[in-house]
Amino acid sequence: MASFVFFLLQTLPIAFLIYFITHYFLHTLLTKARKLPPGPTGWPVLGFLPFMGSMPHVTLAKLARQYGPIVYLKMGSTNMVVASTPDAARAFLKMLDLNFSDRPPNAGATHLAYNREDMVFADYGPRWKLMRKLTNLHMLGGKALESWAKTRAEEMGHVLRALYDKEGNKEVAVAETLSCAMANMIGQVMLRRRVFDTTGSESNEFKDMVVELMTSAGLFNIGDFVPCLAWLDLQGIERGMKKLHKKFDALLTRMIEEHTTSSRERTSGEPDFLDVMMGYYNSTEDDDKEGERLTLTNIKALLLNLFTAGTDTSSSIIEWALAEMLKNPEIMKKAHQEMDQVIGRHRRLQESDFPNLPYFQAICKETYRLHPSTPLNLPRVAGSACEVDGYYIPKGTRLSVNIWAIGRDPDVWDDPLSFNPERFMSGKQAKIDPRGNDFELIPFGAGRRICAGTRMGIILVHYILGTLVHSFEWKLPSNMKELNMEEKFGLALQKKVPLVALVSPRLSPNAYVA
């Protein structure tokens, strides 16, 4: 018996080693025997990771021009495919939507999004469906958005009064103004109160935290693709994420505690969004199998999603639109002429005016095309092996859709690098809609994992941008000879140099105080 045990101890490790080597080589040979999409050869171990650079969306767009609409990359130990044309995006996000309905695990989801307890990074399942249903019913859906239209109008009143200076020009830090306004709009719906009374150090710190989150979460972290190196945190990304998470957690905890205290004093009125979520709160923090309850961690994570994505993506689009109009004054002039004809100068713009402002809507679409809020759609992962356009896509392959490249595809758009709203005024492109069905223009993604805030984002962009354009004359400060239009990569595409502009009122004085 002892000799038999000794024999097993000697042979089992060798048998396991032979099994794993054979399994690995067989898997490799079988994969290579099938036709993978074309792509570049990277380094051993790291694959193509060292070549991504600081502007991955640009790097991947160049690869698409070289290798075609679907590019295969070896990123560390991870397979990755990138779709860079409307047809390629449609193949993955429509025809194979269910197979690519989950997100791959990564450091951002772990350290920023409460270990994937949120709605953005959570697996497609009962808990995700509950959070999506609640946000649609009570905040982001069509009826919910109509119910808080008055809140949007009130907050824009605060913005107009803050910017109004009847004596002349007022210098505006656009990103700070937008971040404060949007946080207050969302705060009114979620917590029934403004988050910031005025722009200042507190609102600026919040804006900086949001930008840092969106930037760090968009970085290609070595540890996500080479797990054996994750503990080293070679780029320092995870250390920064953990530090930032503590700040956000403290802020969200304080919001929930203050809301809980104030709710005891409230005896009437409609419940706000946090009231609704707390109605599904499971205080034991147990994972119920049906996903019909929310833990406190789920609630914090969902608040984090709504405050960060809700403020940063929309504000970045508005900032880009204003920058393009300042760069092209004739476009601003045409927008003013259309608005003066439809609205006049004696009242503020209202959301009901939008159907009568086709040129302004074209400006918004052109901004979505040239400056999409998320240049690379949030990654998805193949639940099982599949085939796309004759190419084999292995199970576990990470999918990125290069929305930025699609918007600049010369096979789709004439003169794609020019900001030209006229392209959306006639012909087939006039019918293109950014809500995820027309794959030439998918700034919010598409399919079942399309951005939950698509409707809200479009309304906020149209209303806030439209109000700012209609209410003020815009020009660059006298010391600025040329507008910097460089990009800064992240989950949201930021202006590298934040926009600062001079505004002066163009409406009757009573329009700013109503």
Rounded CA-CA distance 163/267 in Å is 36
DSSP lists the bridge partners of residue 70 as: 83
Name beta bridge partners: 118.
none
Calpha distance 242→116 (Å, rounded)? 14
* 439 touches 406 (CB < 8 A): yes
The DSSP string of 327-353 is HSHHHHHHHHHHHHHHT-SSS---GGG
Q: Cβ-count burial of 246 within 10 angstroms (0-12 exposed, 13-18 middle, 19+ buried)? A: exposed
d(CA 78, CA 250): 34
In total, the chain counts a number of residues equal to 514
Coil, strand or helix: which one is 75? strand
CA–CA dist 355, 361 (Å, integer): 8
Strand pairing category for 494-495 and 500-505: unpaired
Residue 56 · residue 489 · CB < 8 Å:
yes
What's the CA gap between 98 and 497, in Å, rounded?
39
- Containing 130, the helix (H) or strand (E) segment is helix 126-135
Residue 180 is labelled as binding a ligand: no
Answer for the pair 198, 162: CB distance below 8 angstroms, yes or no: yes
Residue 303 near residue 255, CB atoms below 8 Å: yes
Q: Which residues of 268-306 are buried (b: 16+ CB within 10 A; e: fewer)?
A: eeeebbbbbbbeeeeeeeeeeeebebbbbebbbbbbbbb
Instruction: Single out the residue of 499, 472, 494, 465 nearest to residue 483, CA to CA.
Output: 499
168: left (phi over 0), alpha (psi -120 to 50) or beta: left
Burial 347-373 (b: 16+ CB within 10 A, else e): ebbebebbeebebbbbbbbbbbbbbbb
Residues making up the binding site for heme: 451
Residues making up the binding site: 451
